[in-house]
Protein backbone atom coordinates (compact mmCIF):
# COMPACT_ATOMS: atom_id res chain seq x y z
CA UNK A 1 0.00 0.00 0.00
CA UNK A 2 1.31 3.40 -0.98
CA UNK A 3 0.42 6.52 0.99
CA UNK A 4 0.70 10.18 0.05
CA UNK A 5 1.37 12.21 3.20
CA UNK A 6 1.02 15.99 2.86
CA UNK A 7 2.18 17.64 6.10
CA UNK A 8 4.18 20.85 6.53
CA UNK A 9 5.38 20.17 10.09
CA UNK A 10 8.74 18.52 9.43
CA UNK A 11 9.00 16.67 12.74
CA UNK A 12 5.41 15.44 12.65
CA UNK A 13 5.65 14.44 8.99
CA UNK A 14 8.84 12.48 9.58
CA UNK A 15 7.30 10.77 12.62
CA UNK A 16 4.15 9.76 10.75
CA UNK A 17 6.17 8.50 7.78
CA UNK A 18 8.38 6.46 10.07
CA UNK A 19 5.37 4.92 11.83
CA UNK A 20 3.64 4.06 8.55
CA UNK A 21 6.78 2.49 7.10
CA UNK A 22 7.09 0.36 10.24
CA UNK A 23 3.64 -1.00 9.28
CA UNK A 24 4.93 -1.79 5.74
CA UNK A 25 3.33 1.19 3.96
CA UNK A 26 5.27 2.92 1.21
CA UNK A 27 5.17 6.67 1.96
CA UNK A 28 5.74 9.74 -0.21
CA UNK A 29 5.97 12.91 1.88
CA UNK A 30 5.15 16.39 0.58
CA UNK A 31 5.61 19.45 2.80
CA UNK A 32 3.40 21.98 0.98
CA UNK A 33 0.12 22.07 -0.88
CA UNK A 34 1.63 22.68 -4.29
CA UNK A 35 3.85 19.58 -4.28
CA UNK A 36 1.19 17.51 -2.53
CA UNK A 37 -1.46 18.49 -5.04
CA UNK A 38 0.83 17.65 -7.94
CA UNK A 39 1.76 14.22 -6.55
CA UNK A 40 -1.87 13.35 -5.88
CA UNK A 41 -2.77 14.34 -9.43
CA UNK A 42 0.01 12.46 -11.20
CA UNK A 43 0.98 9.42 -9.10
CA UNK A 44 -0.87 6.27 -8.02
CA UNK A 45 -1.70 6.03 -4.30
CA UNK A 46 -3.95 3.79 -2.24
CA UNK A 47 -4.75 6.56 0.23
CA UNK A 48 -3.74 10.13 1.12
CA UNK A 49 -3.23 11.86 4.48
CA UNK A 50 -3.77 15.57 4.00
CA UNK A 51 -3.17 18.44 6.42
CA UNK A 52 -5.42 21.48 5.98
CA UNK A 53 -3.09 24.32 7.02
CA UNK A 54 -0.48 24.01 4.27
CA UNK A 55 1.84 26.62 2.75
CA UNK A 56 1.49 27.42 -0.93
CA UNK A 57 -1.98 25.92 -1.27
CA UNK A 58 -4.35 24.96 1.52
CA UNK A 59 -5.53 21.40 2.00
CA UNK A 60 -9.18 22.04 1.13
CA UNK A 61 -8.11 23.49 -2.23
CA UNK A 62 -5.84 20.51 -2.87
CA UNK A 63 -8.63 18.05 -2.09
CA UNK A 64 -11.22 19.92 -4.15
CA UNK A 65 -8.75 19.95 -7.04
CA UNK A 66 -8.26 16.17 -6.89
CA UNK A 67 -11.99 15.55 -6.87
CA UNK A 68 -12.56 17.97 -9.76
CA UNK A 69 -9.99 15.96 -11.74
CA UNK A 70 -11.87 12.76 -10.99
CA UNK A 71 -9.28 11.40 -8.55
CA UNK A 72 -11.06 8.92 -6.29
CA UNK A 73 -8.29 7.94 -3.87
CA UNK A 74 -9.48 7.87 -0.26
CA UNK A 75 -8.39 10.96 1.68
CA UNK A 76 -8.02 11.34 5.43
CA UNK A 77 -7.80 14.93 6.61
CA UNK A 78 -5.29 15.46 9.41
CA UNK A 79 -5.45 18.81 11.16
CA UNK A 80 -5.25 20.66 14.45
CA UNK A 81 -8.57 22.29 13.70
CA UNK A 82 -11.51 20.72 15.53
CA UNK A 83 -14.37 23.11 14.80
CA UNK A 84 -17.42 21.32 13.44
CA UNK A 85 -17.81 23.82 10.58
CA UNK A 86 -14.29 23.04 9.34
CA UNK A 87 -14.97 19.30 9.48
CA UNK A 88 -18.08 19.88 7.39
CA UNK A 89 -16.01 21.84 4.87
CA UNK A 90 -13.57 18.96 4.62
CA UNK A 91 -16.27 16.38 3.97
CA UNK A 92 -17.98 18.65 1.46
CA UNK A 93 -14.68 18.97 -0.40
CA UNK A 94 -14.53 15.18 -0.69
CA UNK A 95 -12.75 13.87 2.41
CA UNK A 96 -13.42 10.27 3.47
CA UNK A 97 -12.27 10.53 7.07
CA UNK A 98 -11.03 13.09 9.59
CA UNK A 99 -8.49 12.89 12.40
CA UNK A 100 -7.71 15.77 14.75
CA UNK A 101 -4.23 16.42 16.19
CA UNK A 102 -2.96 15.23 18.58
CA UNK A 103 -3.66 11.59 17.75
CA UNK A 104 -2.28 8.09 18.23
CA UNK A 105 -0.42 6.70 15.24
CA UNK A 106 -2.09 3.33 15.87
CA UNK A 107 -5.46 4.95 15.20
CA UNK A 108 -4.17 6.59 12.03
CA UNK A 109 -2.86 3.26 10.74
CA UNK A 110 -6.15 1.49 11.44
CA UNK A 111 -8.17 4.23 9.77
CA UNK A 112 -5.96 4.14 6.67
CA UNK A 113 -6.23 0.36 6.39
CA UNK A 114 -10.02 0.63 6.68
CA UNK A 115 -10.17 3.30 3.96
CA UNK A 116 -8.08 1.19 1.57
CA UNK A 117 -10.16 -1.92 2.30
CA UNK A 118 -13.47 -0.15 1.71
CA UNK A 119 -12.17 1.53 -1.45
CA UNK A 120 -11.37 -1.96 -2.79
CA UNK A 121 -14.96 -3.02 -2.15
CA UNK A 122 -14.52 -5.15 0.97
CA UNK A 123 -17.00 -4.69 3.82
CA UNK A 124 -15.50 -7.30 6.17
CA UNK A 125 -12.13 -6.65 7.78
CA UNK A 126 -10.87 -10.19 7.04
CA UNK A 127 -10.37 -10.96 3.34
CA UNK A 128 -9.92 -14.57 2.27
CA UNK A 129 -8.58 -16.26 -0.85
CA UNK A 130 -8.56 -20.01 -0.36
CA UNK A 131 -6.40 -20.88 2.68
CA UNK A 132 -4.87 -17.39 2.67
CA UNK A 133 -6.45 -14.69 4.82
CA UNK A 134 -5.65 -11.03 5.38
CA UNK A 135 -6.89 -9.09 8.38
CA UNK A 136 -7.08 -5.58 6.96
CA UNK A 137 -7.53 -4.13 10.44
CA UNK A 138 -4.29 -5.53 11.89
CA UNK A 139 -2.36 -6.03 8.64
CA UNK A 140 -1.72 -9.72 9.47
CA UNK A 141 -1.62 -12.44 6.81
CA UNK A 142 -2.29 -16.08 7.69
CA UNK A 143 -1.97 -19.28 5.66
CA UNK A 144 -3.99 -22.25 6.91
CA UNK A 145 -4.50 -20.33 10.16
CA UNK A 146 -0.80 -19.74 10.78
CA UNK A 147 0.80 -16.26 10.65
CA UNK A 148 2.93 -15.47 7.62
CA UNK A 149 6.23 -13.68 8.09
CA UNK A 150 6.66 -11.20 5.26
CA UNK A 151 9.09 -8.44 4.37
CA UNK A 152 7.69 -4.96 3.73
CA UNK A 153 7.91 -5.43 -0.05
CA UNK A 154 6.28 -8.86 0.11
CA UNK A 155 3.49 -7.47 2.30
CA UNK A 156 2.81 -4.63 -0.14
CA UNK A 157 2.61 -6.94 -3.15
CA UNK A 158 0.47 -9.54 -1.41
CA UNK A 159 -1.91 -6.95 0.06
CA UNK A 160 -2.40 -5.41 -3.40
CA UNK A 161 -3.14 -8.86 -4.83
CA UNK A 162 -5.55 -10.02 -2.12
CA UNK A 163 -7.50 -6.77 -2.15
CA UNK A 164 -8.19 -7.62 -5.82
CA UNK A 165 -8.24 -11.40 -5.49
CA UNK A 166 -9.04 -13.39 -8.65
CA UNK A 167 -8.45 -10.25 -10.74
CA UNK A 168 -5.36 -9.52 -12.83
CA UNK A 169 -3.32 -6.72 -11.26
CA UNK A 170 -1.19 -4.96 -13.85
CA UNK A 171 2.57 -5.10 -13.35
CA UNK A 172 2.92 -1.31 -13.41
CA UNK A 173 0.10 -0.98 -10.89
CA UNK A 174 1.96 -3.30 -8.51
CA UNK A 175 5.24 -1.46 -8.97
CA UNK A 176 3.57 1.87 -8.21
CA UNK A 177 2.17 0.51 -4.95
CA UNK A 178 5.34 -1.23 -3.77
CA UNK A 179 7.98 1.48 -4.15
CA UNK A 180 8.19 5.05 -2.93
CA UNK A 181 8.53 7.80 -5.51
CA UNK A 182 12.28 8.30 -5.12
CA UNK A 183 13.19 4.60 -5.06
CA UNK A 184 15.78 3.19 -7.48
CA UNK A 185 13.87 0.18 -8.83
CA UNK A 186 15.62 -2.77 -10.45
CA UNK A 187 13.78 -4.06 -13.53
CA UNK A 188 13.50 -7.60 -12.12
CA UNK A 189 12.69 -6.68 -8.52
CA UNK A 190 8.96 -7.41 -8.77
CA UNK A 191 9.61 -10.87 -10.18
CA UNK A 192 11.99 -11.57 -7.30
CA UNK A 193 9.37 -10.54 -4.74
CA UNK A 194 6.66 -12.64 -6.43
CA UNK A 195 9.04 -15.60 -6.49
CA UNK A 196 9.61 -15.32 -2.74
CA UNK A 197 5.86 -15.07 -2.12
CA UNK A 198 5.23 -18.19 -4.20
CA UNK A 199 7.64 -20.13 -2.01
CA UNK A 200 5.77 -18.95 1.09
CA UNK A 201 2.14 -19.40 0.01
CA UNK A 202 2.35 -21.91 -2.87
CA UNK A 203 3.39 -21.28 -6.46
CA UNK A 204 -0.07 -22.15 -7.82
CA UNK A 205 -1.70 -19.30 -5.90
CA UNK A 206 -0.03 -16.48 -7.86
CA UNK A 207 -0.62 -16.75 -11.59
CA UNK A 208 1.48 -14.89 -14.13
CA UNK A 209 -0.67 -13.39 -16.88
CA UNK A 210 1.83 -12.86 -19.66
CA UNK A 211 2.14 -9.30 -20.86
CA UNK A 212 -0.09 -7.97 -18.09
CA UNK A 213 0.68 -8.86 -14.49
CA UNK A 214 -0.34 -11.25 -11.71
CA UNK A 215 -3.50 -12.75 -10.26
CA UNK A 216 -3.98 -14.20 -6.78
CA UNK A 217 -6.23 -17.26 -6.85
CA UNK A 218 -7.55 -19.72 -4.31
CA UNK A 219 -5.17 -22.28 -5.82
CA UNK A 220 -5.45 -26.02 -5.44
CA UNK A 221 -8.11 -27.38 -3.15
Beta bridge partners of 69: none
**Does residue 183 carry a pLDDT above 70?**
no
**Same fold across 2-119 and 126-216:** no
pLDDT band at 221 (very low <50, low <70, confident <90, very high): very low
The H helix count followed by the E strand count for the chain is 8, 12
Integer-rounded Cα Rg, in Å, for the chain is 18
- What region, left, alpha or beta, does residue 121 occupy, with left being phi > 0 and alpha being psi -120 to 50 degrees? left
* pLDDT, position 187: 64
pLDDT single digits (tens) 32-56: 999 999 999 999 999 999 998 899 9
Higher-scoring residue by pLDDT: 78, 199: 199
**Does residue 194 carry a pLDDT above 60?**
yes
* pLDDT, position 184: 65
Residues 6+ apart with CB under 8 A from 60: 52, 89, 90, 93
All structural domains of the chain with their residue ranges: 2-119, 126-216
Mean pLDDT computed over 167-183: 86
**Does residue 88 carry a pLDDT above 90?**
no
Mean pLDDT computed over 26-31: 96
User: Angle at the Cα of 113 (from 83 to 185), degrees rounded to 5?
Assistant: 115
Lowest mean pLDDT of 36-50, 52-66, 81-95, name the range.
81-95
**Does residue 132 carry a pLDDT above 60?**
yes
Mean pLDDT computed over 134-146: 95
* pLDDT, position 185: 65
Give the closest residue to 113 by CA, choosing from 15, 7, 23, 208: 23
pLDDT band at 93 (very low <50, low <70, confident <90, very high): very high
- The predicted model scores a pTM of 0.90
Question: How confident is the prediction for the chain on average, in pLDDT?
Answer: 92
The CATH number for 2-119, chosen from 1.10.3210.10, 3.20.20.70, 3.40.1190.20, 3.40.50.2300, is 3.40.50.2300
Beta bridge partners of 52: none
For domain 126-216, give the CATH number: 1.10.10.10
* pLDDT, position 100: 87
Whole-number Å distance between alpha carbons of 203 and 63: 41
Mean pLDDT computed over 114-119: 94
Amino acid sequence: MRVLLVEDDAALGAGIARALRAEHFAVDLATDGVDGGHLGSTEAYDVAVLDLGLPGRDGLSVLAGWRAEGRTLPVLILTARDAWAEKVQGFKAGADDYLTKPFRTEELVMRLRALVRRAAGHAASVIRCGPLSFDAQTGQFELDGLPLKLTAFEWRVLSALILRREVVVERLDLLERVYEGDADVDSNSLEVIVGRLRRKIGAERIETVRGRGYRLTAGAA
